[in-house]
Amino acid sequence: MSAAARNDAVGARGRLGRLLAVIRAGLRSNFGLAVLKHRLFKEKKDRWLVPLFALAAAGVLPTLYGIVLLIQSAYLLLKPMGQERALLGAGFLAAQLLILLLGIYYVISAFYFSRDLETLIPLPLRPSEVMLSKFTIIMVNEYLTVAAIVLPVVITYGVMAKEGVGFWVNAVLVYAALPIVPLAVVSVLVVAMMRFINVSRKKDVLILVGSILLIALVLALQIGFGRTAGPGGPEASAKAVAAYFTSPDSLLNRIGSKFPPSVWATKAVAGGFSGAGLANLALLLGSSLALFAGIVVLAEKLFYRGLVGLGETTGKKRRLTSDEMSRRVSSGRRAVAAVFTREWRIMNRTPIFLLNGVLVVIIVPVIFVLMATMGSGKGGSGGGSDLTSILETMTSSNPLFVILAAALFMTLCGSLNGTSSSTFSREGVQFWISRVIPVAPREQAAAKFLHSYLISMLGVVTASVVAAIVLHLKAVHLAAAAVLALMMGVLLTAVGMIIDLARPLLDWTNPQKAIKQNLNVLLAMLADIGILTAAFFAVKGLVRTKLAPNAVLAVLFLGLAALAGLSYRLLLRFADKRYPEIDS
């Protein structure tokens, strides 16, 4: 071996070692394993989380069992028609579309808003090494995200079909490659977008607009998948439909026609070690490696250019007069209003917070509209989809059911977004400002509550509009449902804030971690599910007592009003007690 070849080999090993070291450090920071271990076994502060997670896992088991039964039923339905592989295809496609959608948040946050970039960039690392370390960490997060979708489908299919070793080996390889294609596509779009956005003085606005456009593109693709997932419109003949379902893998090919990687993944897993299985596996892995190599090239050329000046801000360079300065300094603004304004600015100046907060309460009802109208594509009669017809039939039979179901939908759209349960965590290391400003903790908590609750109200309003348009609900039913949802929103917002105030996550380096990887958000979601479940059984008990529908609604409203007032008072008292104890 020549000296040049030896030097190249040594250099390659050195670059690989640096990359692995950066990835290892990033994973430790991402999951906070060292901190969690220290708090559990050294400080013994969070040991109460162990039985809580055990209880949560036990609560998930019935849901998982129901999902497995549903997959088994679908398999038995598709097997006689030779379409059972469509089950795998649907699982892989759903997972990759979810990665495509969530990847927009993860990529923008990890690539451009991580605080550790200030540490990594000065190090002797190539742009591709920094970007690939971030890409790998995102992949690990996506593995955990799609596990609940892919693993039940693959395992149930493999057991019922009595597949051999080739199925399971290929399933592992396909699962490892599954996030690469959608994440690579998102990475290319985001890096290109940031390269041109960064030359503008309105970077944050353009980042937000660009992200919304990317999400709109993903939703448009989902609409296209939904409208092409069948043998044709109503004009399709019975003979054509029969031929469609009797042709092997026709349903699979139709499902994956607009996103071929899902078809390759399905045929690779189902084919095992056969020629077709290995060929599709090679196709999937080859395309993944090609896109991965493209990311490396793109990182070297554009990644750092998109980072330059990203943290800079611009303002109007105008000298204030003495009168203007006096008015601004002594504006007389009340403390709650001032903290409320500061809370809005914290969220608005970071696109990741804004996308995960405000955008979520808007996009969830929009997705519901798309699902409800997805079957009314070409050739439709214009009467909407089957899902719309089913929902309209259900909501026209029982007014009490209409109101309660609409209230639940509004509550989910308004409250389950992580805004309240990350209220204090979003301040990060700047929380010390909240401790030293001359504003009482309860007033700060009241302002933060108002901010989170307004976002919840936005979700309720959006959901109300969707329910009125899609389900054609009566105004009186919508009004009653909205009142219940708003009252429940007070309770859920206060509970989420109490959980975050109890153990705020202030040492994050990536703003995504303050919401998407914040344990408090998960704990608040579990608490919300528990509260909604308790409300369900309470209503069920009231109905069994043969109370009139209006009486049931009145009792429910009074109960929620009492709990809402109590939770808000507890939040303010807890803020007075907890603020001095928090070490930022």
Same domain, 101 and 222: yes
- pLDDT at position 235: 46
pLDDT in tens, 376-394: 444 444 444 444 555 555 5
Same domain, 17 and 115: no
Q: What is the mean pLDDT of the chain?
A: 77
- pLDDT at position 82: 80
DSSP letter string, 438-456: SS-HHHHHHHHHHHHHHHH
Asked if the structure places residue 237 within a domain, the reply is yes
Same domain, 251 and 359: no
Asked if the structure places residue 258 within a domain, the reply is yes
Mean pLDDT, rounded, for 560-578: 94
Q: Which residue has the higher pLDDT, 302 or 428?
A: 428
Number of structural domains found in the chain: 3
Q: Rounded to an integer, what distance in angstroms lies between the CA atom of residue 462 and that of residue 311?
A: 33
Asked if the structure places residue 518 within a domain, the reply is yes
Same domain, 73 and 126: yes
pLDDT in tens, 249-303: 555 666 556 678 888 999 999 998 999 999 999 999 999 999 888 888 887 877 7
Tokens 């599910």 sit on residue: 529
Asked if the structure places residue 249 within a domain, the reply is yes
Asked if the structure places residue 317 within a domain, the reply is no
- pLDDT at position 220: 65
Confidence category of residue 507, pLDDT binned at 50, 70, 90: confident
Same domain, 407 and 268: no
3-state helix, strand, coil in the chain (%, to 5): 80, 0, 20
DSSP letter string, 322-354: HHHHHHHHT----HHHHHHHHHHHHHHTSHHHH
Confidence category of residue 396, pLDDT binned at 50, 70, 90: low
Q: Rounded to an integer, what distance in angstroms lies between the CA atom of residue 534 and that of residue 554?
A: 17
Mean pLDDT, rounded, for 47-62: 68
Least confident range from 115-129, 271-285, 491-505, 516-530: namely 115-129
Asked if the structure places residue 55 within a domain, the reply is no
Same domain, 35 and 11: yes
Mean pLDDT, rounded, for 398-411: 88
Asked if the structure places residue 351 within a domain, the reply is yes
State the burial class of residue 369 (Cβ atoms within 10 Å of its Cβ: 0-12, 13-18, 19+). middle
- pLDDT at position 481: 93
pTM of the model: 0.65
Same domain, 34 and 69: no
Asked if the structure places residue 161 within a domain, the reply is yes
- pLDDT at position 240: 46
Q: Rounded to an integer, what distance in angstroms lies between the CA atom of residue 162 and that of residue 160?
A: 5
Domain residues for 543?
333-369+387-581
Three-state SS across 35-73?
HHHHHHHHCCCCCCHHHHHHHHHHHHHHHHHHHHHHHHH
Same domain, 299 and 406: no
Cβ proximity of 454 and 423 under 8 Å: no
State the burial class of residue 42 (Cβ atoms within 10 Å of its Cβ: 0-12, 13-18, 19+). exposed
Same domain, 170 and 258: yes
Confidence category of residue 239, pLDDT binned at 50, 70, 90: very low
Confidence category of residue 512, pLDDT binned at 50, 70, 90: confident
Same domain, 355 and 474: yes
Cβ proximity of 85 and 256 under 8 Å: no
Q: Rounded to an integer, what distance in angstroms lies between the CA atom of residue 301 and that of residue 56?
A: 46
- Dihedral sign computed on CA atoms, order 236, 238, 243, 249: positive
Residue 453 has pLDDT above 90, yes or no: yes
Same domain, 161 and 26: no
pLDDT in tens, 308-361: 555 555 555 556 565 554 555 444 457 788 888 888 887 777 777 777 777 778
Same domain, 146 and 232: yes
If you ran DSSP here, which 8-state letter would residue 315 be given? -
> What percent of the chain has a predicted confidence (pLDDT) above 90?
21
